[in-house]
Chains A and B, each alone.
Chain A
């Protein structure tokens, strides 16, 4: 009768305990897949997810309403620091440890973009872009590299299966031909951090090595991630943990990424081949 009753169901209870971690992007892709399957068939949990997304959005809006610092305040603090002697940098390793712990823990978030001092707006945009690239890399790491895929690529239509929308399928089929030496082996609806994505996996022809798998990740229309990130042209997201990412914004605003175990140059080479086709094929309908 009401949505709360479903919570008594074990599956619903399990999903609801994980909803916030799912929205925060802290679930593994395997668990995210489980969540998506449940959300597809449980309107009550799907409604709860939506309500919690709304609440998170409201918290962000409320927080964003905090006013800018008073004019002149930064200058006052700068003057105070200018009068304070410079700290010693010849510190012992033990002294470095505490600060390094937190710094190292967070370093991954911004691993992808070079660190440059800029305006607050620029820095915020850089952080958002970095988060988007990280999102794509995590999908490759958790789904592509941990999944079990066919050793030999099938013909494109079979590999893509029947799960894709006809228009998306046409786009992917078209793009598949642009990646010489690679063939698609799987395409599926994937999810992470409250985002639903199209995930297409390519394998280098004749190879069965995990490092020869390439992911193409495209956000769905209405994506929260894509609404705050706009990539001008083909942008390198950098390198981390043996993964390289490039990305671009498509005509309809969605983000399209390519992730590979190769280096930055290889990611850019492959990205140039396939991403423009995808980006221009996804147009506002």
Chain B
């Protein structure tokens, strides 16, 4: 007698229906999130495709009715981490991050006039790890608790890493704004008779 009996057709179709209902509504969002992370359409498609394939293969582990979106983001994070680890190693221990967060209070004010293209450039200029956590918080709007579960780090690490990421973004934006201002002033002065 075989130990591996064929799965009944209705059971298989039920799993596919569950996947349709729980996971597929997030497909476009996950694909766009992948594009935000990679910035390259072909790489983003590859990443999103891998996320959904892994999600499907491990869908038996997903508890129906819980937050499938957060579950998919966790897979997205894991797959992207595995890929980017090969390219950009970046790990700052919790202690180091807490230490860095302590220094944040003394920073200069955030510029009030910011162009979107400056922010886009600043997002690309900060580390991938900082960019990812900023997107999870400010764009995907996950709570600190959810981010901690997605990244599998303590909530204190989420807070300190986010503080550092935001400070890094502000620093880049300040740099860009200052450079623009210098260029703008020089142009203005140059144009004055």
Contact = CB atoms under 8 A, between A and B. Distances in A.
B60 A102 contact: no
B37 to A, nearest CB: 10
Given A77-B48, A100-B63, A103-B68, A87 B109 contact: no
A154 interface: no
A67 B36 CA distance: 9
Contacts of B11: 86, 89
A98 interface: yes
Nearest to A120: B28
Interface stretch (A50-58, A200-208, A262-270): A50-58
B49 A77 contact: yes
A107 interface: yes
Interface centre among A26, A68, A81 (most CB of B within 10 A): A81
B79 to A, nearest CB: 14
Interface residues of B, number: 78
Contacts of A52: 110, 166, 170
Interface centre among A21, A60, A78, A115 (most CB of B within 10 A): A115
A252 B149 CA distance: 38
Interface stretch (B80-88, B89-97, B112-120, B183-191): B112-120
B58 interface: yes
Interface of B: 7, 11-12, 15-16, 19-22, 24-29, 31-32, 35-36, 41, 45, 48-49, 52-53, 56-63, 65-71, 74, 101, 104-112, 114-116, 119-120, 123, 134-135, 137-139, 141-146, 148-150, 159, 162-163, 166, 169-170, 173
22 contacts: A17-B101, A20-B162, A20-B166, A24-B162, A26-B159, A51-B111, A55-B110, A58-B115, A66-B36, A68-B32, A69-B48, A73-B31, A73-B48, A77-B52, A84-B56, A86-B16, A87-B58, A99-B61, A105-B146, A106-B146, A117-B22, A131-B141
Interface of A: 2-4, 7-8, 13-14, 16-17, 20-21, 24-26, 44, 47-48, 50-52, 54-56, 58-70, 73-74, 76-78, 80-81, 84, 86-91, 95-96, 98-110, 115, 117-120, 123-124, 127, 131
